[in-house]
Amino acid sequence: MSDWSAAPAPLQRRLLTVLGVEELGAYRVLRVADVDTPEPRPGQFAMLAAAERWGGGEDERPYLARAFSVARRRVGESHFLLEDVGPGTRRLCELEEGEGLWSLGPLGRGFEPPSERRRAILVGGGVGIAPLAILQDALEAEAEREVTVLLGFRDGARAQGAALLRGARVATDDGSVGHHGLLTELLAEEIDRDPRAVVYACGPAPMLEAVRAMCADRAVPAQLALEAGMACGFGACFGCAVPKRGGGYLRVCLDGPVLDAEQLEYVDAHAGAPA
Amino acid sequence: MSGPVEFCGLRLAHRVINGSGTFDAIAAWRVFGAALTRHFPFSAYVSKTITLEPRAGNPPPRLWEAPGGMINSIGLPNKGLAGYLEEDLPQLCELLAEAGTAGHGSGEGDDPASVPLITNVMGSTGKQLAQLVAACDERAEIAAIELNVSCPNVETGLDIGADPAQLEQVVLACRERTGKPLIVKLTPNTADVPACAQAAESAGADAVSLINTLRAMALGPDGDVWLGGGTGGLSGPAIRTVALAQVAAVARRVSVPVVGMGGVQRAAHARDLIDVGASLVAVGSESFRDPTVAGRIAHELAA
């Protein structure tokens, strides 16, 4: 189960069959039959596009495939977490059982397991909690691995997404569920309790930047899964550039999406994704 | 319609190549491994644009999804000429040789197996371009050179490729520096593209390629200019009919081979470009959606 090595991605996009799209508060969980995939490493992603009616939506979009972290693997199935924020994500949310889905992947660099027996703190915000679910599965499959899950959401409807992971402490911006305030306030408590922990984070850029800054201040190793607009997912378009420490850019698809926090001076908020 | 073809003295396995800057073969090799060379989609590989000095590229955001296409404002990131020759060229040669061994290469010539490499270069003066051409001319691994002239001339402020007289001077300067096939990638962002093609031909270009992306811009949700570079280039199906018109007009005007591109997604689109006079067809944005599409188009053209 906890295979941390990544095989080369298949060159051909694969036509998968949708098993279902289930509501999870403000989100949807897309389940597809996915038998002959190389096992995705936690943090890896796929480029998804509906086989039919991909285009011709709002503003004659979508055109490009959309990048999604693999949220979970079950025998013969892959799961993806969706939020309707534009014509591409809307079409994916509207998929019905039996429809076709193009998938290119698994792509990118995934998470690295913590060294020794250090506790893993998983920090997720919004739809960015997706890769932490498959990470939690992999970590908890290891003996004697302690995992703490902290998730932040804008409101109560989104906070229902916390059910994707097990045993999460939740913070909401509006106070409707769990801690009323910032996710980083919960993170500070956990780090103070166990300064030898390692942090795995995914979420909106401002949240990731707050996590990065806090971990840097307290010398806690952090791996950040970034989101960025990308046309291809395999290094061809150079669209998903984020500034790296010391100048120049990294390609999120190729060098990430999981980056060591030390690779970044800050998490850039400009790499918006085609929605 | 396909099968092996001759293009500027190069023998190519079929008529489908890539548009410059739309397929990073070295990155794809890392991602897809040996499957890439086994099923190499292009009969010649065009590098991304190389400049004299390294470039980091434009600040993000670099992409915008447009109706039926996309706008990119990448800013030509590259390692510079020295970095390209030292780091990228050996890797490209290795992978193109493997692709050739797998049957995607040319059938004759000095290195019969390799998929030919076309190196695309850009400078902001004629002198810079000529210097890049001269450096490429010295490398046997480079089969042909493509000039990206969609760049403002720092001396005149005009896009080098937008004015026939200026373009002719620049191509003449490059022509003197190489005996390798010289392809001029025309800009579509000018009043009279056929006149520019004719200028390139009379200055000694062996072929012209078109269309490059159309200048475009987008405002984000807040009404601010979205792209970090301000404007960008529109590509994808949205430009297919513009490409067809420009390729047809250029093919009527010049007698050198024309490489046609713009919004090609299927064999039918490639056939249209060939029907109006293109010798080769390049696939660009569609490879982003499906890295194997060019190979499939080549296969369908041959059928």
The per-residue pLDDT of chain B, averaged, comes to: 95
Look up the domain containing A21 and give its range: 14-107
Question: Is the same domain home to A20 and A46?
Answer: yes
Number of domains in chain A: 2
Question: Is the same domain home to A97 and A148?
Answer: no
Q: Decide if B224 touches A, using CB distance below 8 A.
A: no
| Residue A2: predicted pLDDT | 46
Torsion, Cα B86 B91 B94 B100, to 10 degrees, reads -120
The 8-class DSSP code of residue A218 comes to: T
Calculate Rg over the CA atoms of chain A. 18
Question: Is the same domain home to A186 and A77?
Answer: no
In terms of CA atoms, which chain A residue is nearest residue B67? A60
Domain ranges of chain B: 5-57+76-215+235-302
| Residue A5: predicted pLDDT | 67
pLDDT, average across residues A6-15: 92
d(CA B51, CA A8): 31
| Residue A144: predicted pLDDT | 82
Are the beta carbons of A238 and B74 separated by less than 8 Å? Answer: yes
Which residue among A107, A141, A175 closes a domain? Answer: A107
| Residue A58: predicted pLDDT | 87
d(CA B200, CA B28): 33
A140-170 pLDDT, tens per residue?
A: 998 788 999 999 999 999 999 999 999 999 9
d(CA B89, CA A237): 19
| 3-state SS, one letter per residue, for chain B | CCCCEEECCEEECCCEEECCCCCCHHHHHHHHCHHHHHCCCCCCEECCCECCCCECCCCCCCEEEECCEEEECCCCCECHHHHHHHHHHHHHHHHHHHHHHHHHCCCCCCCCCCCCEEEEECCCCHHHHHHHHHHHHCCCCCCEEEEECCCECCCCCCEHHHCHHHHHHHHHHHHCCCCCCEEEECCCCCCCHHHHHHHHHHCCCCEEEECCCEEECCECCCCCECCCCCCEEEECHHHHHHHHHHHHHHHHHCCCCEEEECCCCCHHHHHHHHHCCCCEEEECHHHHHCCCHHHHHHHHHHC
Give the confidence band of B34 by pLDDT, cuts at 50, 70, 90: very high
Which residue among A63, A85, A107 closes a domain? Answer: A107
CATH number at residue A85: 2.40.30.10
> Which of B39, B61, B288 lies closest to A236 in CB terms?
B288
Calculate Rg over the CA atoms of chain B. 18
Give the closest-approach CA distance of A237 to chain B in angstroms: 6
Q: Decide if B80 touches A, using CB distance below 8 A.
A: no
The per-residue pLDDT of chain A, averaged, comes to: 95
User: Does any domain span residue A77?
Assistant: yes
| Residue A265: predicted pLDDT | 95
d(CA A203, CA A264): 16
CA distances from A204 to A11, A84, B61 (A): 30, 15, 15
SS3 content of chain A, % helix, strand, coil (to 5): 25, 30, 45
> Which of A11, A239, A243 lies closest to B63 in CB terms?
A239
B4-27 pLDDT, tens per residue?
A: 999 999 999 999 999 999 999 999
How many A-B residue pairs are in contact by the CB < 8 A criterion?
128
A200-209 pLDDT, tens per residue?
A: 999 999 999 9
Question: Is the same domain home to A230 and A182?
Answer: yes
Q: Is the pLDDT of residue A79 over 60?
A: yes
Handedness of CA B154, B20, A241, B162 (dihedral sign): positive
CATH superfamily label, B5-57+76-215+235-302: Aldolase class I (3.20.20.70)
Give the confidence band of B152 by pLDDT, cuts at 50, 70, 90: confident
| Residue A117: predicted pLDDT | 83
User: Does any domain span residue A273?
Assistant: no
Give the confidence band of B185 by pLDDT, cuts at 50, 70, 90: very high
Q: What is the ipTM of this complex?
A: 0.95
Give me the residue label for tokens 């025998």: A75
B91-134 pLDDT, tens per residue?
A: 999 999 999 998 888 765 555 579 999 999 999 899 999 999 99
| Residue A270: predicted pLDDT | 82
A81-107 pLDDT, tens per residue?
A: 999 999 999 999 999 999 999 999 999
A244-263 pLDDT, tens per residue?
A: 999 999 999 999 999 999 99
Which residue among A107, A138, A154 closes a domain? Answer: A107
User: Does any domain span residue A1?
Assistant: no
User: Does any domain span residue A73?
Assistant: yes
User: Does any domain span residue A5?
Assistant: no
Give the confidence band of A1 by pLDDT, cuts at 50, 70, 90: very low
Residues in A whose CB is inside 8 Å of some CB of B read: 8-13, 47, 49, 55, 59-65, 88, 102, 104, 107, 228-232, 234-243, 247-249, 251, 254, 268, 270-272, 274
Question: Is the same domain home to A125 and A258?
Answer: yes
CATH number at residue A223: 3.40.50.80
Q: Which residues of chain B neighbour A267 with C-beta distances below 8 Å?
A: none
User: Does any domain span residue A207?
Assistant: yes
- The answer to whether B151 is a known catalytic residue is yes
**Other C-beta atoms within 10 Å of B251: how many?**
24
Burial of B219 (0-12, 13-18, 19+ CB in 10 A): exposed
Candidates B8, B136, B151, B174; catalytic one: B151
> Which of A9, A11, A232 lies closest to B292 in CB terms?
A11
For residues A38 and B282, the model is more confident at B282
pLDDT, average across residues B158-162: 89
